[in-house]
Amino acid sequence: MTEAYVPYGGYWCSPFARWQGSLSHLHALEFGAWLARESLAERDIDTALIDSGVLGTTIPQRGAFYGLPWVAALAGMPHLAGPTIAQACATSARCVSLASQEVAFGASQCTLVITADRVSNGPQIYYPDPRGPGGAGENESWVMANFERDPWAGVPMVRTAENVAARFGIGTEAQHELVLQRYAQYGEALKDDGAFHARFMRLPFAVPDAAFRKTVATLQGDEGIHATTREGLARLRPVIEGGTVTHGAQTHPADGSAGMLVASRERARQLTRRPEIEIRIVATGQARTDIAAMPYAPVPAAREAMARAGLRFDELHAVTTHNPFIVNDIVLARETGLDAMEMNRFGCSLVWGHPQAPTGLRAIIELIEALEMRGGGHGLFTGCAAGDSAMAVVVEVTDARA
């Protein structure tokens, strides 16, 4: 089978904005299409060389039924067809996995992955019930209801973090210590006017109006990130009485979009910005763990991906995670032998926020760039998802100059 590659520079990401912020007025799918169109044009990529697409999104937007075909057409590629994927917080990893399979089986030479979500202004859904009093139905706040209760486990997501923290004896102090490291790492990405983010993000970022005709705001980077200090964290109380997880030890909802091209080796060489660099999708993994133990799921997912890649954890050169709770990273390190302080060299979703579908793709993009900066190597992304599940992706970056 054909191996799947990513052309260097064939990926992009908007800044992530804390919910109800500067991106909250934008239709998520229209924004994802606009960003893809702009990003492909900036990279002088001939869209005729793209022959398939995958859309990842988890929060319904008006017109979402038409999925990838509609979004691709808005992005200037009305010739593309493909699926729309929702796998909660593992949506990005699933999209990359599916795109890689399309290439591997010869169904595509180049697949466009677009991920987009707006957690702000979540839809309010009404479910008619002819058995209800007078035919009255039920309402669901799509975003809030799913934050607050897993219909299978019967608990909110933060309870899953408390369960894992209790199982592994992870107290608030240990959590906050690693949180401070994550914010320090994010500070590295901000150095030199955000040079690291500028590798894949247009900065400053001109925020369009809802019609995508004029600029209504300008972002210098991610929006809504609070200054975090040891003293400030110490003043926070656990979210659940008697627990250990504070608001400082978890992420915040956000809005944003990210995209990537997954291609055959030959097509990737046609589209790359730097022909001396190759990026290979080596393996993916998926797992589900015990009920109400979501932050543990990245461990078996990572083990599965690493086994498929034929690698040991001590052979990795970089690791990024989707960590809605810092408990995720502590457990991953303890169970695999990875150094928790070295993961996420330039920050993570705990810091820059969680717009759901695009979150993992940004982490994979940052993984690729971190590997490129060190001259290549193997990298792992792993992250949890609703339903006590997780996905992982192993990539290899090689630099012909090294």
Nearest in space to 17 (alpha carbons), one of 257, 317, 195:
257
Asked whether 379 and 320 are in contact (CB, 8 A), the reply is yes
The pLDDT value recorded for residue 287 is: 99
Asked whether 225 and 351 are in contact (CB, 8 A), the reply is yes
Fold agreement (4-120+198-221+250-271, 157-189+277-399): yes
Q: DSSP string covering 316-376, please?
A: -SEEEEE-SBHHHHHHHHHHH---TTTSSTT--HHHH-B-STTHHHHHHHHHHHHHHHTTE
Domain boundaries, the chain: 4-120+198-221+250-271, 157-189+277-399
Q: How far apart are the first and last CA of the chain?
A: 28
The pLDDT value recorded for residue 134 is: 86
Helix (H) or strand (E) holding 191: helix 172-194
pLDDT one digit per residue (tens) for the chain, 402 residues? 679 999 999 999 999 999 999 999 999 999 999 999 999 999 999 999 999 999 999 999 999 999 999 999 999 999 999 999 999 999 999 999 999 999 999 999 999 999 999 999 999 999 999 998 988 999 999 999 999 999 999 999 999 999 999 999 999 999 999 999 999 999 999 999 999 999 999 999 999 999 999 999 999 999 999 999 999 999 999 999 999 999 999 999 999 999 999 999 999 999 999 999 999 999 999 999 999 999 999 999 999 999 999 999 999 999 999 999 999 999 999 999 999 999 999 999 999 999 999 999 999 999 999 999 999 999 999 999 999 999 999 999 999 887
Whole-number Å distance between alpha carbons of 32 and 60: 14
Contacting residues for 308 by C-beta, under 8 A, at least 6 apart: 282, 283, 284, 285, 394
Question: Which is the CATH superfamily of the domain at 4-120+198-221+250-271?
Answer: Thiolase/Chalcone synthase (3.40.47.10)
The pLDDT value recorded for residue 46 is: 98
Q: How many residues can be counted in the chain?
A: 402
Q: What does the block give as tokens for 98?
A: 């599916």
Q: What number does CATH give the domain 157-189+277-399?
A: 3.40.47.10
Whole-number Å distance between alpha carbons of 257 and 387: 23
The pLDDT value recorded for residue 225 is: 97
Burial class of 314 by CB neighbour count within 10 A (0 to 12, 13 to 18, 19+)? exposed
* 155 secondary structure, DSSP code: S
Bond into 15 cis (ω within 30) = no
Q: How far is CA 89 from CA 51, 58, 230, 266, 361, in A?
A: 26, 8, 29, 31, 10
Amino acid, res. 85:
I
Asked whether 12 and 37 are in contact (CB, 8 A), the reply is no
